[in-house]
Every structure is written in C-alpha cells, then in structure tokens.
C-alpha cells in the first residue's frame, strides 16, 4: 500500500496542520505499541470509551512517526509533527479505506453470520487459490477497525477479494458494507452470539444482511424468513437438507468421523467426502461448495479440493517452552499480513529480549516474490528479530543476505539437526504454512506435552478489563490483581498483557510473586499486599511497593530505609474499615500520623481499604459505613502528609455496584478473569479459562459391576464409560464427583461416576457419540466455574487458584 497524503486528506475531509504534505504512507497504524511504527507510518489516533491514542503521540514522535490523523493536537506537540485534524478518527480511517477501495475493480465477496465467517473465508481461499488470485482480511479482522485496516493493506494484483464482516451492535454493518462494497454475499449460520446487543433475533438478522444491500448474488441456507428480508434485486442461491425447492439439495452420510455429502441441483448430482462429522463444519463446507458451483468450478476440481480441507487454527498461542523459553505457536498459516499480526503478539508476550523466528516459505498471490520478501526483511528488522530460521527453498534464497539467517530446505532437515540446547532464554515465534508441518517443531520446543491444558483467552481478559474501565472516569487509575499466579491462570503472561494495556498498577500478595514478575521484565509499578518484614530488603532491591498495615511493619520499613539512606520510597497505607483482616484501625491513626509526619524516608503513594460486602447489596448499609470510616481516617492522614495520596477502596464488585466511590484508583481482581458476583455482571463478562482434556479410554460396563474406589457407583444397566486423565491432583475437587458434577463431550453433558481419583475420573457416555481422543471440557462455558462452586459449596476463586501447576497453560489470542 502506498497512499499519497493529499489523497488521504481528501478521503477523510480533514484539515492539514504541518510543514509538508509531501508524504506517501506505506504503513497505516492505530497501535502506538507496535514496533512496525516508523517514518513511513500514518497513525490514526482513535479515541474510544476506554482509551485515547492522543495520549501516546509524543511517544510515537520519539519513534520517528511524523504524520498523524487526530481529533485534536496536544498543545505541546503543535509544531513537532504533521497532523490531519478530523472530527472522528475512526470515521476518518473508514473513509480513507473507502477511498482506497475504489481503485480495485475486481469483485469482492462479503461474508457475515454468527458463526463460521472466518472458517468459510479461509476455506474458500484454500479451495479457490489454484484458479484465482485472492486477497482476504487476516484472521478475524472483521470489525469497524479490522476491516478498514485490511482494505488499506491491499497491494498487488488480484481477481477476487474475500472479506468477512462482524458486528455486535446496531448501525455498524452499513459502515462495513461501504468499505468492502461486496458484489457477492455469503450468509453463514445465525446463532445467539451478540444477541444481547439487539432487541431480538430478527433485528440482528436485519442488521447483518445490510452487508448484502448492493450484492448481485447472495448465498445462504434456505430460510424463508431471511429470504423475504433480502433485496429483491439480488439473486438468491440457497441450499437445504430438507427443502428440495432449494437451488442445491444436500444429503449426508456419517461414518467413523467422516462425512459423505451428496449435492443435487438442476444440472448435476455428485458426492464429496470430507474429514469432518460435526454440524458446523458440514454447513461451512456446503456454503463453500455452493459458491464454487456459482463460479463455474468443475465438479472434479471441487471434489478433489474439498477432500483436502483441514481444521483451521484461528488463534495465536503462547506456550511455555524448553530451557526457559516462550513459544508463540502460529504454525498453520503464513502470509504477510498475518506475519505482521504475529510479530505484534510476539512483542506483546515476549518473555526475553532475545527473539527468534522460525519461518516457512510465504505463499502470497498477487504480489511479486522479490517485493514480498523485501517487505518481510524490513518487517523482521523493525521488530529486532535476533535470529531468523528459514525453512523452504524460496525464503532461504530471498533472505540469505541477512546476517542473522539460518536456512533449511525442509522441516525434516531442521528436525534432524534439532538440539534442545540451541534454544535458551528466548521468545520463539513459530510461523509456517500448513504443508511444512511446523506442529512437529512446536512439540519439540514445548516444555509440557500433557493432554490436559488450561486455555486462557487473552482477548477475553482485554474485554473484561475494558468492561470495568467503562464504569470509570477516564482519569481514574486502575490496579489489577495478578496474585496467586493470576488467580491460577498465569502470572507473567497476564501481567505482560496488562502492561501492554498500560494499567497503572499490578497487585501481588507476596514479595516473591513481584520479584518473579520483575525478573521476567515487567516494569509496571507493583504493590505487594501482604509483605513480610523479612522481605522488605528484597522488595527495595526489585522496586516493589509495600502495603503497610501495622505500626511494627512501618517501623521496620523505616529502619531499613534509613539504613540504606533511601528517601521518598513509595508505600501504601492500609486502613481497616470493617474487614478486620489487615490494616490500621481508627485508634492507631494518631500514632501513624506521628510516624509519617515530616518523614522523608517514605512517600505515602496511596491510602486504601478493603470492602467486606460490596458483592451483597443487602449489606449496603455496612458498605456505606466502611466508606464513612475510610473518609474520616483519610482526612486525618491527609493533614500531616506533604502531598495528597491516591485513595482506593473499590474491588471488582465495588466497581460494578458502587462506581460513584471510585476515588482516584480502583482494584480489579476476579472480574478480570470472567467471574462476577451477580447474573447482570456475569452477562457482561467473557469466559477466560477453559480446562480441557481428552478421553483416554472407553469401555462397556455390565449391570452389577461398579465404577471407581469403594464401589461408590453401582451399575444397574449396561452403560458406556469413558476415562479421562484429570483428577484431584490437578485441582478438581472430589466433591464434584459422584454424579454431582459433569464434563462436556461433543456438546453433551457426561456425569462423573463414582469418586474422582488422583489423576483420573470416569464419566457416563452411554448416550454420547464419542471416541478415544475426543476433547473433554472440564470447565469453561459449560460447566461454568460459578456453577461448580455453587454445587460443591465453595467460591470460584478456590477452583481457579486450585488448578495444579502440572496442568499446562496455553495463552491464545484470536
């Protein structure tokens, strides 16, 4: 992409302020943290409900960025860069994309629906690539921001564009239709996703199909209720399992996890075999075939290509690697745009400054090979990749002039010389096309390879953080708790994400947790909530800020600070307003004031307390009493301190129920991890943690036999029982057994039979179609952690923090 500044000003109807309009942008950015920002970047400073990119312009100028699209110019930067001033930066980005889109006259396909958009897009790209030069939006870049960024990234010669569009609120799709301008429309499955943003299901459908307003042809499963809402000027191409009036009638036959689909239209009857048996995959395949038939692809070609379809991995995954490495697994696809995304994720999650990439040949149609690899060279250089391992004939030749490149012709050649000692204390991005089988490399680089994993959704964490930030004033600071290994989810990885989001403070329980974060490179201020006097020296050495909750603790810290000749070291004063756990009570405030008055060894950074019942509105009177006690004690402290400390008293439930008391800072804990204390709060949050395993073995058990220890479950009729490799040593409470609890297998509940063992449990799969190796959901969306806690009489905190460290954590981002 190369866009002249005068064209951009015209597209977005902006007013220019600066020294020169002689500028051509080859990189569009909205993320101030990306290492790809530089002198060729045009930065759009987007202002949202929970963020304002204008706050980071000075930082970008220091990185060499000189051209910005802004809603206002910070006063101190007025003469330091070039600015296009617009009313709304997001609208300006979209208008620029609309202007840029006009230069392409090949047809675009617009895909929308509740589920399957990305799969259909990626499968169509695979299926049609032998006969077409295709451009598509990367991964799930289907939003109000993702779509325009994808359009603006187009460069090269193509004959077909395939773009997906996603919405969550009314009045969003028209924007995306204007940007994509699709000639053909594909509607995938309509489900319950984002129902909460619309008055009803019909309202959501009407909003989605706005993408097809100017389409000549629309492809969908036959549905009269939807068809009557579509434009009369469009030709409808429908398919159905039951209605023979559809343009394409389909029948299916499942056997051993595979499916034979038979298609019948007015001219042909033919069958295809696919390696899937689940309903979603089958529907997505039919959608693809329906469109391929419209394009006139030959039947034999369709049959051969569809038989080669494979599951699409849509997520970037961060995994703990050998020798203190972190492995970023993106081993199933590679193109230039997705490489840029993966490198940004690498920078966001990196555990070490040393960065390595293992990269295969890059297959990108529509652009010259030399041009493509020159761009790749620049990208790797900007991201400061220390070691580049290439696998493939083409990439090895194209990057051989770089000083830090090691080349292999094939994956097998790399595996033959693999040495575990070659990878130590570094962050490794593994990114390759599917045909290179890079999953074999990932297996060697991973530290743990157990089948039981805890998946942590980093996108959900970001969503939950933004939900609570939406309750706050823009100036209110936020401390996020990452104690207890991030509530069982992972300390460093989540801390790194929060640092990426520029939270103001991190909170840990003990000094050693904070020290580990510092050793891992976390620089955000860290408060230690339960410091032991013996840890004060280590805290000072690692720049950790202690909570001070007693006179003896304060005296001990002052003594060390005096001995080390430290001045104004930040501390945080804890007040006991009713929790009666830790903190200064009212009768100690006078003595506390005496110790702090005219004391230069420490600086009281904040004064805070902990609410005992913010989650229970029936105890509202007590919560308000805590507020009153806090205000009274704080006012006494304020009189003797040289500066006014930050105040904070709200925890997760406090933010939700008492936002008016947010003061200068709040503390976010369990809510970040998707756990709320009311149904209303839970509806707004996204599930973060999913505990998964597999079926180890399936057996048939006859009547009068029993299952597990002490014959706790007696078999009364012939049943099918699956053993799964997870037990109480992994953190699953025994109280969840004996038919009180269940797991989910192929979207069906399987009751837990008998007692949960140390490393295994047995479940009833009599009425479930499943086989050895099938995925098992222990908790996540179903069952939810809150549901488990309610049944066994505990709290979600205990379940999450109880998951054993022997369970491998995988962090992923869509």
Catalytic residue from among 72, 78, 310, 709: 709
Residues ≥6 apart with Cβ < 8 Å to 439: 331, 332
**Conformation bin of residue 608: beta by default, left when phi > 0, alpha when psi is -120 to 50:** beta
* Residue for token pair 């509530």: 487
Judge whether 502 counts as a catalytic residue.
no
Catalytic residue from among 117, 320, 350, 483: 483
d(CA 46, CA 51): 8
CB 400 within 8 A of CB 377: no
- The H or E element containing residue 180 is helix 173-180
d(CA 773, CA 349): 31
- Helix, strand, coil percent values for the chain (each to nearest 5): 35, 25, 40
User: What is the chain's alpha carbon radius of gyration, rounded to the nearest angstrom?
Assistant: 29
Residues ≥6 apart with Cβ < 8 Å to 547: 527, 528, 529, 530, 531, 571, 572, 573, 574, 582
Residues ≥6 apart with Cβ < 8 Å to 795: 789
Q: Report the DSSP pairing between strands 235-240 and 217-221.
A: parallel
Neighbours of 185 (CB within 10 A): 29
- Of 692, 672, 661, 664, the residue nearest 779 (C-alpha): 692
Q: Report the DSSP pairing between strands 387-391 and 355-360.
A: parallel
d(CA 390, CA 398): 10
Which three-class secondary structure state does DSSP give residue 150? helix
**Two structure tokens written together for 737:** 């057994």
CB 190 within 8 A of CB 114: yes
d(CA 149, CA 139): 12
**Two structure tokens written together for 148:** 């325009």
d(CA 536, CA 524): 19
Judge whether 431 counts as a catalytic residue.
no
d(CA 616, CA 124): 51
CB 101 within 8 A of CB 332: no
Number of alpha carbons in the 13 Å side-chain half-sphere of residue 105: 0
**Two structure tokens written together for 247:** 């343009």
d(CA 547, CA 665): 15
- The residues carrying an active-site annotation are 483, 709
């Amino acid at each position: 992409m190369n866009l002249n500044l005068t064209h951009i000003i015209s597209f977005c109807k902006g007013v220019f302020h600066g020294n020169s309009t002689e500028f051509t942008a080859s990189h569009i950015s909205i993320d101030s943290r990306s290492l790809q920002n530089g002198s060729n970047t045009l930065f759009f400073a987007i202002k949202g409900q929970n963020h304002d990119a204008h706050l980071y312009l000075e930082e970008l100028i220091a990185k060499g960025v000189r051209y910005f699209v802004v809603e206002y110019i910070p006063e101190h930067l007025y003469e330091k860069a070039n600015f296009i001033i617009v009313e709304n930066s997001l609208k300006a980005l979209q208008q620029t994309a609309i202007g840029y889109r006009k230069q392409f006259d090949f047809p675009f396909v617009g895909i929308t629906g509740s589920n399957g958009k990305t799969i259909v897009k990626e499968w169509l790209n695979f299926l049609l690539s032998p006969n077409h030069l295709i451009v598509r939006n990367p991964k799930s870049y289907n939003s109000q921001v993702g779509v325009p960024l994808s359009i603006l990234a187009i460069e090269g010669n193509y004959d077909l564009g395939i773009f997906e569009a996603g919405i969550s609120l009314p009045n969003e799709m028209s924007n995306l239709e204007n940007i994509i301008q699709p000639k053909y429309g594909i509607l995938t499955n309509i489900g319950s996703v984002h129902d909460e943003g619309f008055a009803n299901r019909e309202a959501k459908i009407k909003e989605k199909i706005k993408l097809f307003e100017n389409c000549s042809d629309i492809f969908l499963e036959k549905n009269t209720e939807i068809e009557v809402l579509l434009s009369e000027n469009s030709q409808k191409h429908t398919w159905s399992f039951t209605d023979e009036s559809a343009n394409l009638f389909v029948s299916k036959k499942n056997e051993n996890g595979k499916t034979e689909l038979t298609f019948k239209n007015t001219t042909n009857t033919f069958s295809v075999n696919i390696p899937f048996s689940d309903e979603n995959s089958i529907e997505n395949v039919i959608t693809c075939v329906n469109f391929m038939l419209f394009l006139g692809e030959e039947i034999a070609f369709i049959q051969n290509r569809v038989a080669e379809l494979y599951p699409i991995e849509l997520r970037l995954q961060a995994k703990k690697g050998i020798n203190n490495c972190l492995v970023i697994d993106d081993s199933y696809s590679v193109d230039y745009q997705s490489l840029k995304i993966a490198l940004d994720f690498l920078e966001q999650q990196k555990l070490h400054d040393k960065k390595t990439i293992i990269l295969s040949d890059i297959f990108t149609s529509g652009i010259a090979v030399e041009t493509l690899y020159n761009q790749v060279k620049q990208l790797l250089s900007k991201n400061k990749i220390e070691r580049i391992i290439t696998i493939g004939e083409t990439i090895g030749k194209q990057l051989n002039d770089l000083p830090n490149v090691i080349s292999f012709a094939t994956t097998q050649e790399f595996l033959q010389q693999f040495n575990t000692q070659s990878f130590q204390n570094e962050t490794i991005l593994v990114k390759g096309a599917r045909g290179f089988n890079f999953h074999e490399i990932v297996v060697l680089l991973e530290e743990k390879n157990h089948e039981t994993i805890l998946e942590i959704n980093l996108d959900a964490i970001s969503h939950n953080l933004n939900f609570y930030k939406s309750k706050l004033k823009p100036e209110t600071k936020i401390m996020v708790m990452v104690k207890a290994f991030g509530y069982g989810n992972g300390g460093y990885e989540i801390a790194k994400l929060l640092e990426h989001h520029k939270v103001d403070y991190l909170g840990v329980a003990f000094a050693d947790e904070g020290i580990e974060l510092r050793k891992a490179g976390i620089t955000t201020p860290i408060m230690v909530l339960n410091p032991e006097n013996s840890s004060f020296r280590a805290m000072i050495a690692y720049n950790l800020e202690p909570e001070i909750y007693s006179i003896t603790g304060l005296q001990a810290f002052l003594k060390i600070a005096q001995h080390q000749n430290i001045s104004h070291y930040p501390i945080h004063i804890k007040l006991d307003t009713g929790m009666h756990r830790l903190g200064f009570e009212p009768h100690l405030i006078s003595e506390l004031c005496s110790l702090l008055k005219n004391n230069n060894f420490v600086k009281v950074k904040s004064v805070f307390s902990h609410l005992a019942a913010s989650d229970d509105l029936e105890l509202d009177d007590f919560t308000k009493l805590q507020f009153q006690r806090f205000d009274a004690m704080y006012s006494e402290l304020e009189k003797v301190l040289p500066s006014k400390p930050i105040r904070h008293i709200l925890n997760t439930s406090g933010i939700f129920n008492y936002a008016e008391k947010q003061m200068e800072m709040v503390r976010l804990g369990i809510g970040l991890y998707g756990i709320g204390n009311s149904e209303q709060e839970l509806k707004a949050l996204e599930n973060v943690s999913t505990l998964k395993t597999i079926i180890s073995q399936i057996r048939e058990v006859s009547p009068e036999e029993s299952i597990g220890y002490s014959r706790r479950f007696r078999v009364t009729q012939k049943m099918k029982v699956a053993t799964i490799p997870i037990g109480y040593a992994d953190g699953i409470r025994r109280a969840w057994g004996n038919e009180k609890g269940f797991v989910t297998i192929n979207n069906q509940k399987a009751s837990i039979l008998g007692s949960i063992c140390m490393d295994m449990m047995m479940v009833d799969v009599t009425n479930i179609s499943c086989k050895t190796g099938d995925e098992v959901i222990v908790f996540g969306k179903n069952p939810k952690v809150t549901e488990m806690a309610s049944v066994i009489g505990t709290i979600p905190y205990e379940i999450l923090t109880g998951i054993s460290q022997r369970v491998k954590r995988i962090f992923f981002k869509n």
